[in-house]
Structure 1
Amino acid sequence: MLIRNVYRTTLFGCRADEPLTEVARQMADKDVGSLAVFDGEELAGLITERDLVRALAAGPDPGSETAAAHAATRVRTASLDEDSQDVAQRMLEAGIRHLPVEDGGRPVGMVSMRDLLALEVWSG
C-alpha cells in the first residue's frame, strides 16, 4: 500500500527556538510522539519524546533549552507514492519511529511505525 493511504495528514510542528517545556506541552496536548521542527518555513529537524528524555537526563533547565538544540537534524522523509513496506523497512533499519511525509519536497504529514503496524494488522 502507498504511504498516501496510511499517513496522518496533519503535521504538528514547533519552532526551532521554542523551549523544551513548550515542545513537551505541545506533544502532550496533541497526543503525539514527535514534532517537526521548523526554522521559518523550512523543515529543520524532528524532535521526539526520546529526545526530550535525553535532554532532561542531561540536566539542563528544559525552559532554557531549545527544540533545535535537541532535534535530529538529519531528517529522513517518506514520499506519498512510496510503498509502505519499503518505508517500514527503512524506519526499522534506521531505528526511528516517525517520518515526515513530503509531496514534491514540501512536508504534508507524518507516518509512524504505529501507523504501519496497524496497516499490517488490519490488512492481514
Structure 2
Amino acid sequence: MNRLDTQVTEIMSSPVRTTDKDTPVSDVAEMLLTADIGSVVMTDLDGIVTKTDLLTAVSDNHTTDPIATVMTDSVVTVSPDADVQTAVNRMQEHQIKHLVVETGGEAVGIVTTADLAATLATVPDSITSMFATSNNPNQLNRYECTQCGRRVTADTQPKQCGECGAPVRNISVTRD
C-alpha cells in the first residue's frame, strides 16, 4: 500500500484535548504543558489554539483572558476515513499545521505536519511540497489579526491589523 493511501486514523493523535471558549489562557497553557501536546480544540469545533497562540497570549500578559480571545476561529477538519494524501492536500490548501479529524461533529483525532512527515519519510516529493510554502522566500505569507481574525496576504508582516489595530501573526509558518 502506498503511504499516501494510509487512513488518517492510523497516524492521528487521539484522544483530542478539548476545552470551552471561556477557559482562561493560563489553564489551557497548563493543559498543553502537562499533556505535552501542541493544540487544544474547542468543544464545539469552532476554534483551535496552539502553543504559538498561547505563547503570544502569555507574552502579552493575557493569561486571565478567555481562550476565545487567542484561538483560531476556523477549524479545518477531515473525516476518519480520509487518506494521508487528502490530509496533505487539506493542510496545504488552508496553510495549516494541525488538522482535526472529526466524525459527527466531534473531534476524534489530530494530524500534524510532524505526523505526516513521519509517515511520508520515504516519499521526498510529498514532504518537500508539504513544507514548500514556508521555505520559499518569494512566497507571499498569510497573516491573521490576533483580535478580529482578519486575514491578509503580503510579502512582509504588517505591523498591525488594518481593521482594529491589534497585532498580527504569520499563519504561513509552523504553529506547533
Post-superposition shift, 1:123?
7.6
Equivalent in the alignment of 1:3: 8
Matched letter for residue 45 of structure 2: L
- Match of 2:96, SS? coil
Structure 2 CA distance for partners of 1:37 and 1:104, relative to 1, 3 Å: closer
Larger Rg: 2
User: Counting strand residues as a fraction of each chain, which structure ranks higher?
Assistant: 1
Matched letter for residue 29 of structure 2: A
Say yes or no: does 1:37 pair with 2:42: yes
Q: So what's the TM-score if we normalise by structure 1? A: 0.84
Q: How does 1:46-65 map to 2 (within 5 A)?
A: 46-57=48-59, 59-62=60-63, 64-65=64-65
Equivalent in the alignment of 2:112: 112
- Match of 2:47, SS? strand
Post-superposition shift, 1:2?
1.4
Q: Share of identical aligned residues, percent?
A: 30
Post-superposition shift, 1:122?
6.5
Separation in 1, partners of 2:12, 2:62:
34
Post-superposition shift, 1:73?
1.3
Q: How does 1:3-22 map to 2 (within 5 A)?
A: 3-22=8-27
Structure 2 CA distance for partners of 1:5 and 1:22, relative to 1, 3 Å: same
Post-superposition shift, 1:26?
0.3
Q: So what's the TM-score if we normalise by structure 2? A: 0.61
Separation in 1, partners of 2:67, 2:95:
21
Gaps of 5+ in 2: 1-5, 125-176
Separation in 1, partners of 2:122, 2:104:
29
Greater RCO, CA 8 A, separation 6+: 1
User: Counting helix residues as a fraction of each chain, which structure ranks higher?
Assistant: 1
- Report if the CA contact (8 A) 2:32-2:40 is conserved: yes
Aligned length in residues: 119
- Match of 1:25, SS? helix
**Which consecutive aligned stretches of 4+ in structure 1 deviate over 6 angstroms post-superposition?**
none
